[in-house]
Structure 1
Amino acid sequence: MPRLWSALDERSEAGQPGQAWNAITVGASTHKVTQTEGAAGAPLAPAGDLSPHSKTASWSSTWPLKPDLVLEGGNLLLDHRPPAMATADLSLLTTHHTPAERHFSTFEATSAAAALAARMAAQVWSAYPDYWPETIRALLVSSARWTPAMLRHLPELPSKSDYETLFRRYGYGVPDLTRARRSANDAVTLIAQGLITPYTHSATRGAAAVHNEIRLHALPWPRETLRRLRGRDVTLRVALSTFVEPNPAEAARGRKLGYGSHGLRFKLKRADETEGRFRLRINKAAATDDEPPVRGGVADDDGWRFGQRRRDVGSLHIDELTCPASDLARRDILGVYPVGGWWKTKLRPDAEELPQARYALVVDIDAGGSEVNLYAEAQAEIAAQIAAQAEVEI
């Protein structure tokens, strides 16, 4: 028998623990629109859009973007008037909990989507067993893209604020296992895992703590290949992932820099910027404690697609930019720096050990199907960097 479902309340939002900073929060989309021949009614959701089972989010700007991604959660069948029904045709197949009774059953909604996400995360981790959980999260969520059906909700020339609707409904979209696990010739993925000591004691401000380290990553760009592409556009996507220790105090819940133990952000060197000027800029950004730089009254986002105001929340930060390949060849340093967190406010002046945080960086270059081999040159550049480092250590 099909199960009956009441009409979804549009005011119903994702609840606990869907707001968790460190967890991957999974929503449901659907491509299930095919029914058994002769079945009455029509699928409620169009192919590639949000599943009717999935809730959305409207967190304030101080909280993470949730859900992180969406996977198949089934559809509902609407026969002339509500309520809509869950049917076997529009649900997912699974094993039955009592094999002696029958072998198979169906299930749906975010429970099904979460199971698919867990399987995908396990496949990525099986391929790369030495990676940290922070890295697996970054790889999986950064691999997600919005479907054509999702993108149809954007205007023809979207502004940064127009992406709010997509983030609230779909997170970063539907993840792609192939993209998460390997690089193609015309696309390359660079991964770094590092430690940072975000805060230290102030030498001049008594008991107050101050920001401590900035980590600069020299990116092993395939420079010659990018220069040969000249003005052809390429897309860069960066994901920065760290796990925070939450502050359980009630007063911390609405404070962007008070709930997490620490905050990390990233910046990319500009094409016309020297390394010295980049260091000055990133030091200035770290000193402002997460206030976005302003130029001409608007946030200076350096061409990033989503922008700082939506990227710099939570503990997973993803953004992308599209620029001429020859410009990207010169944007070859990426910095990771700290902003505020409760570790900073609670750091005791007599503490002998300073708290450290792990982070993962996932950087993707996509030449959009161009017949170039970005991967080979990047691999050679990485080998050269490793050899140079070995010489220094000797």
Structure 2
Amino acid sequence: MAGSTTIERNRLWARLNTAVAAQETPFSSPLVVVDLDAFDANAKDLVRRAAGKPVRVASKSVRVPDLLRRVLARDGFEGVLAFTLREALWLEEQGVSDDLVVAYPTVDRGALATLVASPRAAAHVTLMVDDVAQLDVVDSVRSSTAVPVRIAIDVDAGLRIGSQHVGPKRSPLYDASGVLELARTITSRPGFRLVGVMTYEGQVAGLQDVVPTARARSMIVRGLKTASVAQLARRRREVADVLAEITELEFWNAGGSGSVESSGGDPVVTEIAAGSGLLVPTLFDHYRSFAPRPAAFYGLPVTRRPSPDVATVHGGGLVASGPAGPDRLPTPWAPAGLQVTTLEGAGEVQTPLVGHTAALLQIGDLVWFRHAKAGELMEHTNAAHLLAGDALVGTATTYRGHGLAF
């Protein structure tokens, strides 16, 4: 992985500290910094990997409107994959994008009422469904079907081996017949337009497959990925064939940062979703398919030295969602050579650090961490400070900084 050697991490430590020291304004903790050089390099690489198919940026993995604007201004990126309808409506209102697909079904009646009352928003936002009941919720908030609602169908993209299912537990729709039945309902129901399909193969896009400390497991993961790609290509073709009999789709969304090549290589797929590959959290460090550059960091000050070989920083407990385990903990990254302790881990108000570097840290020094996930870091700060070269060049307000909690 780029930027992972001890020398590179220590150079990053010096670079970040120098940039922060040059600023006169006091910083809050955690001090979140996005390295624009790495961010832009990762964006360029995602476009390269997509090989001509547009990349729809997954906002859940960014959560900073100015960074969304930055990446959408690049050739190769088109539209936003939002994680809630309220978020999509806000991004549309702010002019961040006029092409927003909500990745998850919604039963938020207030947000749905806003959508159906606005012809402009309804023309720019696509809802995700996998059940007729979700259409019923839309109809429950409107008195007229004059404003059509754009709909995409979420089709399960997991791998099935006998009775076993490997992959995210998302849509109940698996076979082409079930998808066709729902599609016919949508196309015949007043006030709805079927415009797209989504197949998110999380077992391919979201699993590291060359983890140095888990070689046997990585080999199994690579085998599952190969089987998933082959099985899903066949199922996508079957679904596409039956849908072509009743409608012409605008898009077929698939993949994620970890599966850009395999998803884009399927001729059925018209666009790739990606977001984590821009900021690169630690859960995306070990992929065979790409070598990203970490772009998001947060700095915490050393506030005490309980012993000569321990340095304690203020705060730090920014633990990622998902199955609880060591891989969900933040990683002390720069300087290199630090670890959290097994007894305290990453704490809400303090995090003791050990390792050969700990003895060299002084009170007031900054230790820079990486989060295990991308966008979740931005829920802990009002603004991300932007680093270009060796200097901080501005700030970008997060959703939280805008007073939003999606």
Query: Normalising by the residue count of structure 1, what TM-score does the alignment of the two structures yield?
Result: 0.23
Structure with the bigger percentage of helix: 2
TM-score w.r.t. length of structure 2:
0.22
